[in-house]
Each structure stands twice: as C-alpha cells, then as structure tokens.
Chains A and B, each alone.
Chain A
C-alpha cells in the first residue's frame, strides 16, 4: 500500500490504458495485446484498496465495453471480479516477490478473460480455444515495469 496516491496519475493512467486498448497494434499480434485496463484495475486496487474498489473497476469496465462494443456489462463484470479478487488477496500480494506477483496477474487476468469469453460464447460468439489467455500472459510480462513506473509517478506527484 502506498502512503500517498496521486489522483491525476490515476485519471491519466486509466485514460492512457483505454487509448492503448484501442490504438493501433500490429494486426498479426492482435491476440497478444496486453489487457491494459485490467492491469490498471489490478494496480490501483492493489496499491490503494481504500480509494479504488469494485464500483470504480465496474465503471472502467463499462467504458471498455463501449470501446470494444461487447454487450454492456460483460467487461464491467469481469473488471469488478478482478478488483474483488485483488481486494481479497492484496495483503498477501504485498509480501510476494515480483515473479510471484506476475503469476497472480496472470491468474487474475486469466480469470477475467475467461469470464469475458465464457459470457460471449453463451451469447453466441465463436469458440476460440485457449488462445484468449494470451493477453493475460503478456499482461503478466509487462506488470513489473508498469508497477515500477506507476509507483515512481505516485511518489513524485502524490
């Protein structure tokens, strides 16, 4: 838990993650795009569980729904689930070394992706095998630099 958090950094990071989640990415690597917004939800509920919780995560997920034009509520529910799970484990999470944190990121965002794809398939999308877990893996890989960057920003500006 950080002693201070910076609200401008919070707003900016969510905005940037929304932009990154739709902005141009090499077409062939589309399915490897990290789940940026999921990472932000993870980071902020992990670092500031008192300020950032399920409801804000839900709202952010709703925005992602609009951007991805999935049925409203799918990503919202999945993001709220990530926030909920982070809230339940954040005290243990702080004790974990970085590789273990990455594993948790992979696990929780994997659950997030799984839920999103489960609902989509219930609503009639094509089955895509397990390839939907790629974003969770790439997210886990970008977690350490992202975490350090946001921590530094928070310390400087908070």
Chain B
C-alpha cells in the first residue's frame, strides 16, 4: 500500500508539474478507444434504428428542405467569396501577411467528461487525423473550445465554459479587447478586467481576437448578456452567453490555421480528406 501511494504521488507530481507522462496517457487513451466507442454505441444504435424506420416521404421532405437551405447558403457563399477576395486584396494593399483561409475537418463528439465539475468533451478525431493540442474547436454558432490532449483516435476538448479556460476576445463594434473566462456554467461566461468607463452594451458580439496565438482570429465566441456596474469596483462585472451550443452540438469543426499546416506534413491545400469517411476538408 505504501509503495502504491508513493507511486501515485510520483505520477501526480510528474503529470501536473513536469508534463512527463503525456506519452503514457496518450498510449492508454489509444488502448481505451474501444471503451469510448462502446460508450457511444447505444446512441449510434438508436440512430441506426430510427434511420431504419424513416418513411420515404419524410426523407423526400427533408431532402427538399436541405436543398433549399443549400441554395441559400450557396448564394451567401458566392457573396462571401467576393468579399473574401476583396478583403485579401485590401490586406495585400496594406502589406499584411495575414490571410484568412483556415482549413477545417468535421469531428463528432463521442463522449462528455464524466466529471460534473469539468467541461470537457471527447471528439472522434485524434493525432492520426492531424489534430494537435491547442487547436480551436467550433460548432455552427461559434467557438467551442480547444484541444487539450490528443491520442491516436480521439482528442479531448476543453470547452470555453470550463472554469480553467480563458479566451482573448474583442468587441466587434469597437475593437475593445478583453479576456473571457469560463466559470463552470455552460450558459454564462465572464468578461473580466473591463474598466467601468468603456463603451460596452448588452448584445455586443465578442469575437476571438487572436492575441496569444492560440485561437484563430475573428470567430464569434459570445454575446454580452448582462452588465453590472458597482461604483465601488474598479472593473465592471459583465456576463456573456456563448454563441456555440456547448451542450447540444454533436458535430464540431476542428480548425487548422495556416501556421498549423506549415508545421504539418499534410499539404495545406483545400479540399483534402485527412483520414477517411466523415472528414470534409474545405476552405473558408
């Protein structure tokens, strides 16, 4: 017993202070991939069963709805392509080296952290698909979190609402920079160190500012939902609601910013399929 305690303490210290056991964790994570798969199996199965009993009419209807939506999105994409080209042109005129062309792959959330006090999820893409620690994760609404650990087939993502997570953001309206902290509640984030004289209102959209080099710039993160000014405090208390649907989304996007790709052996072109089936590489 004494030996085991000694060993455990050694491991805990090595893990938290020295970061030496990441390979062990990653290897064990790979071994445990079947457990993740089994944990997700009931839902896969129920989806498969409900897929068996969908009527043709439903499918046709859904197909039509999707096609209509596709048309709308394509029209928007057309407009966006023109805008992106114009934007790049303007940036070139300003001699800026920053070009907006992040590549993404689609991943699926296969498990939610069993610990109720940490906001983490596991996605079904791992280092085999090129996912690295530190990459940003999006859903259709906005920024969801970042990869904190990747094993061969799965990666672990810390959500923006985790109480140890922070994102550098800026207000879209006026470019005011600040830091958005998670407080362990998936509906509320906190904007900190904002002096009480600045111009910020409820409903302001906060986007990632790209400072700190972790998150790509310009993705929506949250919307200011409540502002509380206390004359005695040097800073305003501001709460924001995340734009991403943190506990509802099932499909997420893993963002490869151009810097990531430069270090990769994967080609940085658009449209390549990393890994297999459900992976869609596309250019924004």
Residue on B nearest A31 in the bound complex, by CB: B116
Contact A73 B8 (CB under 8 A): yes
- The answer to whether A22 touches B39, judged by C-beta atoms less than 8 angstroms apart, is yes
Q: Is the CB of B35 within 8 A of A18?
A: yes
Q: In the complex, A76→B5 CA distance in Å? A: 9
Residues of B within 8 A of A30 (CB): 114, 116
| Bitwise interface map of A from 25 to 39 toward B, beta carbon under 8 Å scored 1, else 0 | 101001101000000
Residue contact B35 to A15, C-beta cutoff 8 Å = yes
Closest to A134 in B: B116
Instruction: List the B side residues contacting A73 at CB < 8 Å.
Output: 7-12, 15
- Which B residues touch A77, using CB under 8 A? 4-5, 8-9, 12
Residue of B nearest to A80 (CB): B4
Please, which residues of chain B bring their CB within 8 A of the CB of A72?
11-12, 14-15, 21, 24-25
Interface residue B97 (Cβ < 8 Å from any Cβ of A): no
Q: Known A19-B35, A67-B35, A126-B117; judge A24-B12 contact (CB<8 A).
A: no
Number of interface residues of A (CB under 8 A): 36
Cβ B114 vs Cβ A80 within 8 A: no
**Interface residue? A58 (CB, 8 A):** yes
- Which residues 10-62 of B sit at the A interface, judged by CB distance below 8 A? 10-12, 14-16, 21, 24-25, 28-29, 32, 35-36, 38-40, 42-43
Given contacts A54-B4, A69-B113, A71-B12, contact A19 B247 (CB under 8 A): no
Task: Spell out B's residues near A (CB within 8 Å).
Answer: 1, 4-5, 7-12, 14-16, 21, 24-25, 28-29, 32, 35-36, 38-40, 42-43, 111-118, 120, 148-149, 156, 163-164, 184, 247
